[in-house]
Amino acid sequence: MSNSINSPILIVDDDETFLRVLKQTLINHQLTVVTASTPEEALGLIDKEEFGFAILDLNLDGQSGLNLMKELLQLRPDCKVLILTGYASVATAVEAMRLGAMDYLCKPATVADILKALQPETSDTTDEEPKEMSEEEVEDDFQPMSVKRLEWEHIQKVLVEHDGNISATAQALNMHRRTLQRKLQKRPVEK
74 and 150 housed in the same domain: no
32 and 101 housed in the same domain: yes
**How is the chain split among helix, strand and coil, in percent rounded to 5?**
50, 15, 35
Range of the domain at 108: 9-122
Report yes or no on 148 lying in a domain: yes
101 and 151 housed in the same domain: no
110 and 142 housed in the same domain: no
CATH of the domain at 159: 1.10.10.60
85 and 22 housed in the same domain: yes
C-alpha pair distances (Å), 71 with each of 17, 65, 98, 191: 25, 10, 14, 33
105 and 83 housed in the same domain: yes
172 and 79 housed in the same domain: no
From 78, 99, 122, the end of a domain falls on 122
Report yes or no on 97 lying in a domain: yes
Domain count, the chain: 2
Question: Whole-model pTM?
Answer: 0.64
pLDDT of residue 63: 81
From 79, 99, 122, the end of a domain falls on 122
Average pLDDT over residues 135-140: 47
Computed over every residue of the chain, the mean pLDDT equals 79
pLDDT of residue 133: 46
Please tell me which residue, 188 or 30, carries the higher pLDDT value: 30
User: What residues form DSSP beta bridges with 9?
Assistant: 33, 53
